[in-house]
Amino acid sequence: MNLLKSYIFPRLVQWVIVILIGTTVTFIIPRFSPVNPVDVVMASLASYQTTDPQAMLKLKESLEDMMGLNENIFVQYFKFWGRLLKGDLGPSLARFPIPVIRVIGNAMPWTISLLLIATILGWLLGMVLGTFAAYYSHKSWSKILQVVIMALYPVPYYVMALILLMIFAYIFPIFPLFGGVGIGLKPSLSLNFILSVIKHGFLPAVSIILVSIGWRFMSQRALTSTLLSSDFIVYARIAGVRNRKILFYLFRNSLLPQATDLALSLGGIFSGALITEVVFSYPGLGQILYSAILQGDYNLVIGISVFSIIGVATGALIIDLLYPFLDPRIRYS
Amino acid sequence: MSSMNGSKLVVNGVTKIFKMGSGFSRINITAVKDISLEIDLAKGEIFTLAGESGSGKTTLSRIILGIIEPTYGKVLYRNKNIFAMKRNERRQFIKEVQVVSQNPFEAFNPLKKVESYLFKTAIRFGLARDKKGAIPHVEKALKAVGLSLAEINDRYPNELSGGQLQRVAIARSLITQPSMIVADEPVSMIDASLRMSIINLIKQLNEESKINFIYITHDLATAYYVSHKIAIMLKGEVVELGSIDLLTEPLHPYTELLRTSIPEPDPDKALEAIDKELVISKRNFDSDFACKFADRCPSKMKICEREEPKNYIVNGRIVKCHMYSNKGIKMTNSIQI
Amino acid sequence: MPIVSAKNLRAYYIVDVYGFKRTVKAVDDISMEINENEILGLAGESGCGKSTLMKVLLGLVIAPLKVLNGQVIYSFNGFEKNIFELSEKELENLKWEVFSYIPQGSMNILNPTRKIGDTFFDFMEPHMEKFDKKYVREIIIQHLGNLDLPAEILESFPHQLSGGMKQRVTIALATILKPRIIFADEPTTALDVVVQRDVIQLLKNIQKNSKNTIVLVTHDMAIHANLATRIAVMYAGKIIEIAQTKDIFKNPLHPYTKYLISSLPKIGDKTYKKSIPGAPPSLANPPEGCRFHPRCPEAKKECSESVPELIELETGHKVACFRIN
Amino acid sequence: MKIIKDLFKYDKRFSVGFIFVVLILFMAILSFFPPYDPTIPHTFPRDLSPSLKHILGTNSLGQDIFWILTIAVRNSLIIGGISAVISRTLAILIGSLAGYLGGRVDRVISTVCDSFVVIPRLPLLILFAFIFRGFLNPLSMAILLGFLDWAWPSKRYRSQILSLKESEFTNTARFSGAYTLEIIAEEHMPFLLSYVVADSISGFIWAIGMETSLSVLGLFDLSIPTLGTTIYWANYYKSMLLGIWWWIGSPVGALIITVIGLYLLSVGLGDFLDPKVRLQRLSK
Amino acid sequence: PPGIPRNETLILDQIFRYSIPHNFNVWTPVGITPTRQAFVFDTLWYIDQHTGEWINSLAAEPPKYNDDFTQMIVKLREGIYWSDGVEFTADDLIFTVEYLKAHEGLVWNADFNAYVDKVEKLDKYTVKFTLKEPYPRFHNLFTARYNACYIMPKHVWEKVEDPGSFDFFPPVSLGAYVYKDSDPSGYWELFERREDWQRTSVGVITGKPGPKYILTIFYGPSEKKVMAMLSNELDVLMDLDLEAFKALIRRGKYVRSWYKDFPWAYPDEIDMRNLSFNLEKYPFNIKDVRWALALALNIIELEENYVGGISRVNPIPHPATTYHMKYFHIPLKPWLEQLEIEVTPGEKFKPFDSNIPFELAKWARKQGYKVPDDPDKVIEMFGIGWWKYAPDVATKLLEKHGFKKENGKWLLPDGTPWKFSIIVAPDEEDAFRQTMWAVDQWKKFGIDVSMITLERNPFYAKNQTGDFECTTAWGVGGSPSASLDKWPYINGYHSRFYKPTGETQTLQNIIRLKDPEVDRIIDEMGAISPDDPKSYELTKDWIKLWTENMWTIVLTSFKKMITYNEYYWTNYPTAENPYGQPLYWFMGSRFVIPHFEKTGRK
Ligand SMILES: Nc1ncnc2c1ncn2[C@@H]1O[C@H](COP(=O)(O)OP(=O)(O)OP(=O)(O)O)[C@@H](O)[C@H]1O
Ligand SMILES: Nc1ncnc2c1ncn2[C@@H]1O[C@H](COP(=O)(O)OP(=O)(O)OP(=O)(O)O)[C@@H](O)[C@H]1O
Ligand SMILES: [Mg+2]
Ligand SMILES: [Mg+2]
Q: What percent of chain B has pLDDT over 90?
A: 11
> What is the per-residue pLDDT for C197?
83
pLDDT at E222 (0 to 100): 84
CATH number of this structure's domain A111-295, picked from the four choices 3.40.50.10470, 1.20.1270.360, 1.10.3720.10, 1.10.1040.20? 1.10.3720.10
pLDDT at B329 > cutoff 70: no
Cα of C240 to ligand 2 centre, how many Å?
18
Q: Of residues B300 and E422, which shows the higher confidence score? A: E422
ipTM higher than 0.85?
Answer: no
For residue B1, the model assigns a pLDDT of 40
Nearest CA to ligand 2 atom 11: B160
- List the single residue in C14, C62, C159 with the smallest CB-CB distance to D280: C62
Which pLDDT score, from 0 to 100, does residue E92 have?
A: 92
Note the pLDDT of residue A52. Answer: 66
CA neighbor of E268 nearest in space, from E277, E278, E260, E258: E258
Distance from C-alpha of C71 to C-alpha of A160, rounded to nearest angstrom: 57
**Residue closest to D105 by CA, chosen among D117, D93, D116:** D93
Nearest Cα to E481, choosing from E351, E597, E334, E321?
Answer: E321
What residue of D is the nearest CA neighbor of E247? D242
Lowest mean pLDDT among B162-176, C230-244, E420-434: E420-434
Q: Which pLDDT score, from 0 to 100, does residue E530 have?
A: 84
Tell me which residue in C19, C64, C159 faces D283 most closely, judged by beta carbons: C64
| Domain membership flag for residue C28 | no
CA of C108 to the centre of ligand 4 (A): 15
For residue E488, which of E35, E85, E127, E47 has the smallest C-alpha distance? E47
Q: Burial level of E347, CB count in 10 A (0-12/13-18/19+)?
A: exposed
DSSP string across B228-266: SEEEEEETTEEEEEEEGGGGTS--SHHHHHHHHH---S-
Closest-approach residue (CA) in chain D for C17: D282
- Tell me which residue in D40, D41, D218 faces E455 most closely, judged by beta carbons: D218
How many other CB atoms sit within 10 Å of the CB of residue B55? 26
Walk me through the domains of chain B, giving residue ranges and CATH numbers.
8-330 (3.40.50.300)
Residue E204: its H or E element? helix E201-206
Task: Please give the average per-residue pLDDT across E6-28, as a whole number.
Answer: 84
| Interchain pair D172, B158: CB under 8 A | no
- Residue C193 contacts by C-beta under 8 Å, 6 or more apart in sequence? B218, B220, B258, B261, B262, B263
**Edge to edge, what strands does the sheet with B8-20 contain?**
B27-40, B8-20, B72-77, B80-81
Query: DSSP alpha helices (H): ranges in chain B?
Result: 57-64, 87-96, 104-107, 114-124, 131-144, 149-152, 162-175, 192-209, 220-226, 253-261, 276-279, 302-306
Contact present, E480 and E319 (Cβ < 8 Å): yes
Domain boundaries, position C279: 36-59+91-98+179-265+273-319
Q: Provide residues with CB under 6 Å of ligand 2.
A: B 158-164, 189; C 13, 15, 24, 26, 44, 46-52, 64, 104, 283
Say if CB C165 and CB C149 are below 8 A apart.
yes
Q: Would an 8 Å CB–CB cutoff place A9 in contact with chain C? A: no
Q: What is the pLDDT of residue B183?
A: 92
Tens digits of residue pLDDT in E350-399: 999 999 999 999 999 988 888 888 998 899 889 999 999 999 999 999 99
B151 Cβ under 8 Å from any chain C Cβ? yes
Candidates C26, C24, C21, C23; CA nearest to C9 is C26
Inter-chain residue contact A328 with B19, CB threshold 8 Å: no
Average pLDDT in chain B:
83
Q: So what's the pLDDT on residue C149?
A: 83
Confidence (pLDDT) at C295: 86
Q: Given this model, what pLDDT does residue E62 score? A: 92
CATH of the domain at C215: 3.40.50.300
Q: What's the pLDDT score for residue A250?
A: 92
Measured between beta carbons, which residues in chain C are less than 8 angstroms from residue D278? 17
pTM of the complete model beyond 0.90: no
Domain region containing D65 = 2-283
Residue D151: pLDDT above 90?
A: no
D194–A225: do the CB atoms touch at under 8 Å?
Answer: yes
Least confident segment among B290-294, B298-302, B327-331: B327-331
In a domain, C260, yes or no: yes
Within a domain: residue C229?
A: yes
Inter-chain residue contact B224 with C268, CB threshold 8 Å: yes
- Name the residue with higher pLDDT: D121 or E281: E281
| Protein residue with its CA nearest to atom 4 in ligand 1 | C160
- The Cα–Cα gap between A187 and A166 comes to 28
Q: How far is the CA of B100 from the centre of ligand 1 (A)?
A: 17
Ligand 4 being an ion, which residues bring their Cβ within 5 A of it? B 161-162; C 51, 104
CATH number at residue D164: 1.10.3720.10
At residue B273, the pLDDT reads 61
Give dist(CA C57, CA C103) in Å, integer. Answer: 13
For residues C90 and C94, what is the distance between their CA atoms, to the nearest angstrom?
6
What pLDDT was estimated at residue B281?
40
Ligand nearest to the CA of C52: 2
- Return the pLDDT at B282: 43
- For residues B77-115, one letter each, b for 16 or more C-beta atoms within 10 angstroms of the residue's C-beta and e for the rest, the string is bbebebeebeeebbbbbbbbbbbbbbbbbbbbbbbbbbb
Quote the pLDDT of residue B284: 47
The answer to whether B22 contacts A325, with C-beta atoms less than 8 Å apart, is yes
What whole-number distance in Å separates Cα of residue E512 and Cα of residue E506? 12
Inter-chain CB proximity A103 and E457 less than 8 Å: no
Q: What is the DSSP string of chain D?
A: -HHHHHHHHH-HHHHHHHHHHHHHHHHHHHTTS-SS-TTSTTSS-TTPPP-SSSTT-B-TTS-BHHHHHHHHHHHHIIIIIIHHHHHHHHHHHHHHHHHHH-HHHHHHHHHHHHHHHHS-HHHHHHHHHHHTTTS--HHHHHHHHHHHSSHHHHHHHHHHHHHHTTSHHHHHHHHTT--HHHIIIIIIHHHHHHHHHHHHHHHHHHHHHHHHHHHHTTSS-TTS--HHHHHHHHHHTTHHHHT-HHHHHHHHHHHHHHHHHHHHHHHHHHHHHSHHHHHHHHT-
Residue B61 alpha carbon, nearest atom of ligand 1: 18
Residue E389 Cα distances to A62, E342, E351, E399, E598, angstroms: 49, 16, 9, 18, 50
Whether B335 has a pLDDT exceeding 50, the answer reads: no
When scoring C54, C55, C114, C219 by the number of chain B Cβ atoms within 10 A, the one with the most, hence best to mutate, is C219
Distances (CA, A) of E357 to B95, B275, E274: 91, 116, 19
Check if the beta carbon of residue E236 is closer than 8 Å to that of residue E584: yes
Given a cut of 70, whether residue C238 has pLDDT beyond it is yes
- Kindly tell me if the per-residue pLDDT of E95 is higher than 90: yes
A332 interface with B at CB cutoff 8 Å: yes
Q: Is C243 in the B-facing interface, judged by CB distances under 8 Å?
A: no
Residue in A317, A215, A300, A231 with CA at minimum distance from that of residue A26: A300
pLDDT of the residue at D22 = 92
D49 touches chain B (CB under 8 A): no
Burial class (CB in 10 A: 0-12, 13-18, 19+), B25: exposed
CA distances from E259 to E279, E370, E523, E572 (A): 39, 12, 41, 11
CB within 8 Å: A229 and D274: yes
d(C-alpha B270, C-alpha C73), whole Å: 33
Name the pLDDT band for E59 (thresholds 50, 70, 90). Answer: very high
pLDDT-based confidence at residue B328 (cuts at 50, 70, 90)? low
- Average pLDDT of chain E to the nearest whole number: 88
pLDDT tens for C147-173 read 878 888 888 888 888 778 888 899 899
CA distance E65 to E532: 13
Residues of D in contact with A21 (CB under 8 A): 111, 115, 118
Does the C-beta of B20 come closer than 6 Å to ligand 1?
A: yes
Q: Which atom of ligand 1 is nearest to the CA of B218?
A: 25
Residue from C10, C30, C183, C283 to probe ligand 2 pocket by mutation (most atoms less than 8 Å from CB): C283
Task: Among the bound ligands, name the one nearest to the CA of residue C49.
Answer: 2
Mean pLDDT of B108-129: 88
Mapped to the 3 state alphabet, what secondary structure does D48-68 carry?
CCCCCCCCCCECCCCCEHHHH
Alpha helix ranges (H) inside E231-316: 242-251, 287-295, 299-301
Residues of E in contact with D237 (CB under 8 A): 241, 243
- At residue B2, the pLDDT reads 40
Res C9 pLDDT > 50 = yes
Is 90 exceeded by the pLDDT of residue B258? no
Q: How close B128 comes to chain D (CA, Å)?
A: 13
pLDDT > 90: what percent of chain E?
A: 36
Between CA D188 and CA D181 the distance in angstroms is 10
Asked whether residue B245 carries a pLDDT value surpassing 80, the answer given is yes
SS3 E448: strand
Cis (ω within 30 of 0) for the bond into E391? no
Q: How many domains, in total, are found in chain C?
A: 1
> How far, in Å, CA of A303 to CA of A288, rounded?
11
Residue C257 lies in a domain: yes
For range C112-126, the mean pLDDT? 89
The Å distance, Cα C108 to ligand 2 centre, comes to: 18
Q: What is the reported pLDDT for E390?
A: 92
The residue whose C-alpha atom lies closest to atom 12 belonging to ligand 1 is: B31
For the cut 50, the answer to whether the pLDDT of residue B283 exceeds it is no
Of B218, B118, B132, B203, the residue nearest B160 (C-alpha): B118
Instruction: For residue E505, give every residue at least 6 positions away whose Cβ sits within 8 Å of its Cβ, in sequence order, or none.
Output: E464, E465, E466, E497, E499, E512
E272 close to E555: Cβ distance less than 8 angstroms: yes
- Domain membership of residue C49 (yes or no) is yes
Report CA(B53)–ligand 1 centroid distance (Å). 8
Q: What pLDDT is attached to residue E470?
A: 93
Per 3-state DSSP, chain B is made up of helix, strand and coil in percentages (nearest 5) of 40, 25, 40
Taking the Cβ of residue A242 and every Cβ of chain C, the question of whether any pair is shorter than 8 Å is answered with yes
pLDDT of residue E5: 87
Identify the pLDDT of residue B278. Answer: 55
How many interchain CB pairs under 8 A, A with B? Answer: 10
> Who among C148, C196, C275 is closest to B283 (CB)?
C148
Please report residues of D whose CB lies closer than 8 A to that of E446.
Answer: none
Per the CB < 8 A criterion, the answer to whether E225 and E194 are in contact is: no
Choice from B16, B20, B35, B55 to test ligand 1 binding pocket (greatest atom count within 8 A of CB): B55
**E594: pLDDT strictly greater than 80:** yes
Q: How confident is the model at residue D282 (pLDDT cuts 50, 70, 90)?
A: low
Chains A and B touch (3+ CB pairs under 8 A): yes
**Partners of E178 in beta bridges:** E192
Euclidean distance between CA atoms A161 and C317, whole angstroms: 78
DSSP tag of C80: E
Residue C185 lies in a domain: yes
Question: Which range has the worst mean pLDDT, B270-274, C185-189, E166-170, E563-567?
Answer: B270-274
For ligand 1, is residue C191 a contact (CB within 6 Å)? no
Determine the atom of ligand 1 nearest the C-alpha atom of B16.
Answer: 12
Ligand 1 binding pocket includes C107 (Cβ within 6 Å): no
The domain total for chain D is 1
Q: For residues B97 and B178, is the Cβ–Cβ distance under 8 A? A: yes
pLDDT above 80 for B267: no
Mean pLDDT by 10 residues, chain A (333 residues): 69 88 85 75 65 72 77 84 83 78 85 89 93 88 89 85 87 81 75 84 89 87 84 87 90 86 84 80 83 81 87 88 77 54
